[in-house]
Amino acid sequence: MMRMRMLVSVRDVAEARIAARSGADFIDLKEPRDGALGGLPVDAVARVVQALREQGSPQPISATIGDLPMNDLPAILARVEAVAACGVDYVKVGIERETASGAVLDALAATGHRIIPVFIADRGLDFEQVAHACALKFPGMMVDTADKLAGSLFDLMPVADLRRFVARVRASGALVGLAGALRHAQLPALQELAPDFAGFRSAVCAGDRSGALDPERLRELAARLRAAPAPLSA
Ligand SMILES: O=C[C@H](O)COP(=O)(O)O
């Protein structure tokens, strides 16, 4: 079992370069000021992808499409196409706990792009929806939280549900990731859950997640993740 990898959310070329040289395993493009899955303008995504590819950064790159309502499937699909065309490795799409989400998952799977559904967990997870997504064979799946002021993922979801999510997604063959205002202090709890990767923004900024990426915090987190033994439960 590999160690747990670290996805780091960045908003521009400068932050992406910092993340690439400071220990990030996945570089995730978003505008943190615009919420959990705030999207960057497509030309900004393209600029970051070009800069990272030109400097030979090996990390896979993901980008979010932005917070779009589940009932606006045409807008979701148009945005997926635009973001995928920037050359990212993965397109992240927020999945709300709503009836319309089933049809969104079906349509995303049919795009042929490498989509990572991100289940928004503030109101808990619908495990039928998760099972539905698992059957659609996405390359990865995550949970994240929308309200970053309500505490971390561990405050919003029971550990038993997180464990169930990790097991269910892993059994489907997809990569599984956890995020939601995760902090350094939660690394032991994360290690115990043993997702393939964990996503960070709040913990690697000097102020709140809308501020600037802090290379020192990032390097410290990366060092702690590298030092941690691979969890037995994995
Ligand atoms: O995809 C990961 C998120 O951007 C993590 O952000 P956060 O640590 O502020 O919840």
Q: What is the pLDDT along the chain (234 residues), one digit of tens a residue?
A: 578 999 999 999 999 999 999 999 999 999 998 888 899 999 999 999 999 999 999 999 999 999 999 999 999 999 999 999 999 999 999 999 999 999 999 999 999 999 999 999 999 999 999 999 999 999 999 999 999 888 899 999 999 999 999 999 999 999 999 999 999 999 999 999 999 999 999 999 998 888 899 999 999 999 998 887 655 444
Enumerate the H helices of the chain as residue ranges. Answer: 13-21, 42-54, 73-84, 101-109, 127-135, 153-156, 159-172, 187-193, 215-227
Give the pTM.
Answer: 0.95
Structure tokens at 33: 């000021």
181 Cβ inside 6 Å of ligand 1: yes
> Check: CATH 3.20.20.380 for 5-225?
yes
The answer for residues whose C-beta is within 8 angstroms of residue 186's C-beta and 6 or more apart is 152, 154
- Looking at this predicted complex, what is its ipTM? 0.98
* DSSP code string of 158-210: -HHHHHHHHHHHHHHT-EEEEESS--GGGHHHHHHH--SEEEESGGGBSSSTT
Length reported for the chain = 234
Domain boundaries, the chain: 5-225
Question: What confidence score (pLDDT) does residue 1 get?
Answer: 59
Catalytic-role residue among 3, 30, 79, 148: 30
Active site residue 137: no
Active site residue 92: yes
- Determine the residue of 40, 144, 154, 178 to mutate for testing ligand 1's pocket, defined as the one with the most ligand atoms within 8 A of the Cβ atom: 144
How crowded is residue 135: how many other Cβ atoms within 10 Å of its Cβ? 11
Question: What confidence score (pLDDT) does residue 234 get?
Answer: 42
Structure tokens at 52: 């990272």
Query: Which amino acid makes up residue 231?
Result: P
CA dist., res. 230 & res. 234, Å (int) = 8
Q: Ligand 1 centre and the CA of 77: distance in Å?
A: 23
Question: What confidence score (pLDDT) does residue 232 get?
Answer: 47
